[in-house]
């Protein structure tokens, strides 16, 4: 896995694709392949795009499957976060030694119908499986490389096709992840940490363009002509240029309804942004999808028992939807073809919650609130779904909204009615003494008119900084998008960003997003306010490149200063938001 070396602070430009797709191998028996082509992105109208993306926007929740030969060593060298699907690269395993693991890859317990049903029962609406990860191993029969499940394993059968069929049988959409650039076995494929054409084993060194032309392009053509895919999920665009991506991007047109992500490279924007392992504080404009593991690895690692709780995953789903995104939640199956029991237990819990609260997830859009101290909110027109993570001890829920309310009820208690009062531009809901669900209890709140609420105090406020790169000015950290950033020059290890709210304002929380780049920015932060004695610290901590959001003891001030320290890189902030204190 891992996000590519892609800086989402920089706007990507679309590439005009002139190449046409050529004929591919014959489709599998019984599979119908569409023969029409979709217009290039530049020719697609907004209405056409909306129609193509409609099912994806409705779905909200999908299953990611990282599965391959790496499930045999299963973290053999320990629980290090790169000792799963990245184990060959991280441990510098020679090609012959790694390929020997394929002789032990025999997933006789693989039951694609059961996998698809598990996903459906969990409330998921689509599945994406790794058809080829960075180790270059194809989970499908391929004429382009013998390094595939049919030719290199005792199992000797296609693993992708049966899952595609099983998913569609369950009414699910389905897609394939394909590592187009990185390939650590087929000669010439990119290897993270090495110059183009190089590697740690002479066997896999070679010409990168030859690899693209002889392996990547033919295999993508095989996938798109053999299987009726709904999604193509690219990953890590090392060395990809507009010229190099053109043949791959042209193949996308073989499937008119295909949804693609933004990781092909070379200026190909795709359809969806892909924050990895975190939820952006602001969300992103347009279509986006957080992909996340249940523990610390994408592929199966037998040593990793650091599982997120079911409650945490339910809350992540709600938070992502509240910010306008989709949630692609990962499982790393074993080499025998089984889901780890801890994974299925969590999917069961999420499915149980969605059976009660699914209306607050499916087909929703971004909620109107930048921050709520007790949870998040999703929206369907005039209907707001209040996801309450922290049930108020006094039974009173404060909603910073000035609208007239038509109705309020708990989804877990159909027909219930909750008392609502209005005071000083806020709604006060009276709740039962106990929460219906300890993870996330949902209130359906129907309002009149568009939501009326106060803006985020820091939104668009004047900002200055101690240093910045051209094109990464301080104002970018306050524009509300999360996709532009303030960034200091490379030789600067500590820098500050100062915000002037214009007048003293009571602040009770803040959110911080970081530039979505690899390697992750491990930064220390200090938030200060200006008072009569100078700058006074009110918060501090460290990050893992995923930002933070935290509450504060209410503090009233006009000027706030955020200092970022980044020993391994240059400091940066994609978005800083200061939230009003609840009165």
Residue 322 domain-assigned? yes
Q: Both 104 and 230 in a single domain?
A: yes
pLDDT of residue 20: 29
* Selection from 19-23, 272-276, 518-522, 579-583 with the highest mean pLDDT: 272-276
Q: Which helix (H) or strand (E) holds 120?
A: helix 112-121
Q: In the structure encoding, which two tokens stand for residue 136, read together? A: 């270059």
Domain finish residue from 360, 392, 417:
360
Task: Tell me: pLDDT of 26 over 80.
Answer: no
* 488-516: average pLDDT: 96
Contacts of 534 (CB under 8 A, 6+ apart): none
Q: Both 349 and 490 in a single domain?
A: no
CB 160 within 8 A of CB 139: yes
pLDDT of residue 82: 76
Q: In 10 A of CB 1, how many CB atoms?
A: 23
* 290-298: average pLDDT: 97
Q: Residue 516: which pLDDT band, with cuts at 50, 70 and 90?
A: confident
Q: Tell which phi-psi region holds residue 441, choosing left (phi > 0), alpha (psi between -120 and 50) or beta.
A: beta
Average pLDDT, the chain: 92
Task: Tell me: pLDDT of 37 over 50.
Answer: no
Q: Looking at residue 494, which CATH number applies to its domain? A: 2.60.120.260
Is 15 or 203 the better-scoring residue by pLDDT?
203
Task: Tell me: pLDDT of 526 over 60.
Answer: yes
Q: Which domain holds residue 188?
A: 58-360
Q: How far apart, in whole angstroms, are the C-alpha atoms of residue 249 and residue 188? A: 20
Q: Both 168 and 216 in a single domain?
A: yes
Q: In the structure encoding, which two tokens stand for residue 429, read together? A: 């809901």
pLDDT of residue 482: 83
Summarised one tens digit per residue, pLDDT across range 150-161 is 999 999 999 999
Residue 452 domain-assigned? no
3-state secondary structure 72-92: CCCCCCCCCCCCCCCHHHHCC
Domain finish residue from 315, 335, 360:
360
Contacts of 226 (CB under 8 A, 6+ apart): 24, 25, 27, 28, 31, 33, 140, 161
End-to-end CA distance of the chain: 44
Q: At what angle do helices 242-251 and 217-226 cross, to 10 degrees?
A: 20
Q: In the structure encoding, which two tokens stand for residue 49, read together? A: 């795009």
Task: Tell me: pLDDT of 30 over 60.
Answer: no
Q: Looking at residue 402, which CATH number applies to its domain? A: 2.60.40.1180
Q: Both 510 and 434 in a single domain?
A: no
Place of tokens 């208690």: 413
Counted residue by residue, the chain has a size of 583
Question: For 566, what's the count of Cα atoms within 13 Å in the CB-facing half-sphere?
Answer: 25
Residue 41 domain-assigned? no
Summarised one tens digit per residue, pLDDT across range 44-91 is 999 999 999 999 999 999 999 999 999 999 998 877 777 899 999 999
Q: Both 443 and 469 in a single domain?
A: no
Q: Residue 527: which pLDDT band, with cuts at 50, 70 and 90?
A: very high
Total domain count for the chain? 3
pLDDT of residue 32: 29
Q: In the structure encoding, which two tokens stand for residue 191, read together? A: 């290897």
Task: Tell me: pLDDT of 7 over 90.
Answer: no
Q: Both 338 and 391 in a single domain?
A: no
Residue 404 domain-assigned? yes
Task: Tell me: pLDDT of 581 over 70.
Answer: yes
Percentage with pLDDT > 70 across the chain: 92
Q: Both 247 and 387 in a single domain?
A: no
Indicate the SS3 state at residue 445. strand
CB 548 within 8 A of CB 566: no
Q: Both 129 and 172 in a single domain?
A: yes
pLDDT of residue 582: 82
Indicate the SS3 state at residue 86. coil
Q: Both 432 and 503 in a single domain?
A: no
CB 327 within 8 A of CB 409: no
Residue 223 domain-assigned? yes
Q: Which of 576, 578, 520, 523 is nearest to 551 (CA)?
A: 578
Task: Tell me: pLDDT of 373 over 90.
Answer: yes
pLDDT of residue 90: 94
Task: Tell me: pLDDT of 407 over 90.
Answer: yes
Q: Which of 285, 283, 291 is nearest to 263 (CA)?
A: 291
Q: Both 443 and 485 in a single domain?
A: no
Residue 225 domain-assigned? yes
pLDDT of residue 42: 61
Q: Looking at residue 232, which CATH number applies to its domain? A: 3.20.20.80
Domain finish residue from 422, 447, 472:
447
Task: Tell me: pLDDT of 17 over 50.
Answer: no
Q: Which helix (H) or strand (E) holds 397?
A: strand 396-399
Q: How far apart, in whole angstroms, are the C-alpha atoms of residue 472 and residue 436? A: 46
Q: For 75-100, b where at least 16 C-beta lie within 10 A, e where not — what string?
A: beeebbbbbbbbbbbbbebebeebbe
Q: Residue 41: which pLDDT band, with cuts at 50, 70 and 90?
A: low
Q: For 397-409, b where at least 16 C-beta lie within 10 A, e where not — what string?
A: bbbbbbbebeebb
Q: How far apart, in whole angstroms, are the C-alpha atoms of residue 437 and residue 432? A: 12
Task: Tell me: pLDDT of 330 over 60.
Answer: yes
Residue 53 domain-assigned? no
Residue 279 domain-assigned? yes
Q: Both 384 and 517 in a single domain?
A: no
DSSP assignment string, 21-52: PPP-SPPPTT-------PPPGGG--HHHHHHH
Q: Both 126 and 177 in a single domain?
A: yes
Contacts of 283 (CB under 8 A, 6+ apart): 323, 324, 325, 366, 482
CB 546 within 8 A of CB 314: no
């Amino acid at each position: 896995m891992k996000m590519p070396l892609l800086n989402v602070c920089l706007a990507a430009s679309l590439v005009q694709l002139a190449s046409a797709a050529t004929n591919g191998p014959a489709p599998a028996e019984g599979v119908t392949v569409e023969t029409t082509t979709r217009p290039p992105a530049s020719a697609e109208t907004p209405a056409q795009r909306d129609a193509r993306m409609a099912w994806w926007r409705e779905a909200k929740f999908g299953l990611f499957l990282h599965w391959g030969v790496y499930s045999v060593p299963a973290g053999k060298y320990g629980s290090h976060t790169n000792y799963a699907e990245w184990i060959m690269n991280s441990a510098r395993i020679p090609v012959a030694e790694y390929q020997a693991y394929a002789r032990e890859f025999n997933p006789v317990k693989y039951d694609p119908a059961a996998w698809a049903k598990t996903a459906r029962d969990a409330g998921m609406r689509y599945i994406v499986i790794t058809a080829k990860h960075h180790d270059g191993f194809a989970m499908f029969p391929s004429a382009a490389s013998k390094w595939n499940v049919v030719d290199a394993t005792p199992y000797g059968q296609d693993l992708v096709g049966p899952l595609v069929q099983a998913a569609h049988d369950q009414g699910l959409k389905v897609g394939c992840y394909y590592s187009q650039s990185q390939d650590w076995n087929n000669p010439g494929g990119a290897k993270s940490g090495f110059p183009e054409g190089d590697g740690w084993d002479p066997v896999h060194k070679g010409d990168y363009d030859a690899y693209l032309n002889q392996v990547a392009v033919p295999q993508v053509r095989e996938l798109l002509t053999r299987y009726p895919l709904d999604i193509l999920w690219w990953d890590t665009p090392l060395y990809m240029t507009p010229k190099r991506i053109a043949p791959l991007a042209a193949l996308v047109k073989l499937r008119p309804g295909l949804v693609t992500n933004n990781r092909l490279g070379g200026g190909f924007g795709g359809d969806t942004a892909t924050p990895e392992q975190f939820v952006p504080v602001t969300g992103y404009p347009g279509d986006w999808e957080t992909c996340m593991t249940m523990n610390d690895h994408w592929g199966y690692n037998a040593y990793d028992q650091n599982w997120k709780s079911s409650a945490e995953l339910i809350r992540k789903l709600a938070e992502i939807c509240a910010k306008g995104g989709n949630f692609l939640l990962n499982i790393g199956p074993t080499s025998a073809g089984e889901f780890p029991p801890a994974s299925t237990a969590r999917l069961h819990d999420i499915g149980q919650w969605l059976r009660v609260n699914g209306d607050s997830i499916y087909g929703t859009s971004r909620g109107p609130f930048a921050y709520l101290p007790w949870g998040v909110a999703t929206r369907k027109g005039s209907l707001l779904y209040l996801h309450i993570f922290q049930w108020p001890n006094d039974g009173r829920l404060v909603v910073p909204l000035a609208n007239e309310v038509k109705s309020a009820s708990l989804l877990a208690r159909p027909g219930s009615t909750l008392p609502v009062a209005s005071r000083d531009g806020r709604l006060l809901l009276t709740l039962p003494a106990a929460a219906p669900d300890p993870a996330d209890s949902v209130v359906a709140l129907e309002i009149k008119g568009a939501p009326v609420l106060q803006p985020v105090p820091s939104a668009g406020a004047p900002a200055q900084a101690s240093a910045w790169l051209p094109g990464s000015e301080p104002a970018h950290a306050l524009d509300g998008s999360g996709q532009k950033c303030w960034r200091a020059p490379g030789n600067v290890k500590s820098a500050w960003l100062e915000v002037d709210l214009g007048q003293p304002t009571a602040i009770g929380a803040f959110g911080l997003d970081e530039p979505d780049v690899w390697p992750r920015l491990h930064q220390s932060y200090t938030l200060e306010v200006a008072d009569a004695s100078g700058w006074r610290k009110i918060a501090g901590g460290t990050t893992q490149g995923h930002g933070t959001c935290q509450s504060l003891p209410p503090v009233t001030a006009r000027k706030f200063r955020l200092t970022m320290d980044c020993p391994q890189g240059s400091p940066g902030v994609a978005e800083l938001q200061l939230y009003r204190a609840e009165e």
